Amino acid sequence: MRQSIRQSSGGSRCRDVLELIVRAGVVLLVVSLAACSSLLGGGGVSITRTGDGQVNAVPAGTDPEDAVIGRREHPLIVAAYGGVYSHQRTEIMLARIVSRLLGAANQSQNSFTITILDSPQVNAFALPGGYIYVTRGILALANDSSELAAVLAHEIA
C-alpha cells in the first residue's frame, strides 16, 4: 500500500511544490530588492558581454574597497573552479535576467560581473565588488530562466 501511494504522488507533486517555492522566492526577492531601492536611487543599466565567459551589468557605484577585494579574488575563484565557461547564448540569457532584476529592483546603478565557472558543481555565489559566479552545474540543473532568476536575485541581494 505504501509503495503505491509513493508512486502515485511521487516526483511530480514534489516537483510542483518545488516549482511553487522557487517562483514564490523570485517574487519575494524582487519585492525585497524593490523595497530597498528607495534608499539607493535610480539610473540606467548597460549590459556588456565581454566574450570571455563574463557578462558585465554596468553603470558605476560599488565601494572601492569592495572592488579591490573582488578583483583580487576573481582569478583565484576562476582557477579553483576549473576556469571560465564561455557560451554566448547562456551569457546573453544571464545578462537579460540580471538586467530585468536590476530594473525591477530599481538598482540599475549597481555594477555586476557575472562569470560562468566551468565546474559541474551545483553552486552560485558572490564576492564583494559586484562579482557573481554561477557554475555549469547549476545552469544544467535549472529548468527555466525563472529558476536562474531566483538564484541571481539571491546573489544580487
CA 27/CA 101 separation, integer angstroms: 10
pLDDT digits (tens, 9 = 90+) for 65-112: 888 898 999 999 999 999 999 999 999 999 899 989 988 887 767 778
Q: What is the pLDDT of residue 5?
A: 41
Q: What is the pLDDT of residue 58?
A: 45
Q: What is the pLDDT of residue 86?
A: 93
CA 140/CA 98 separation, integer angstroms: 18
Q: Per the structure block, which three cell numbers stand in for 112? A: 555586476
The larger pLDDT score, comparing residue 3 to residue 113, is at 113
Domains, in order of start, for the chain: 2-156 (3.30.2010.10)
Q: What is the pLDDT of residue 105?
A: 82
Sheet hosting strand 46-49, strand order edge to edge: 46-49, 54-58, 112-117, 131-135, 124-127
**Residue 54: pLDDT band with limits 50, 70, 90:** low
Alpha helices in 38-87 (DSSP H): 64-80
Backbone angle region of 129, left / alpha / beta, with phi > 0 → left and psi within -120 to 50 → alpha: left
In a 3-state reduction of DSSP, which class is residue 157?
coil
Beta bridge partners of 57: 47, 112
CA 15/CA 37 separation, integer angstroms: 33
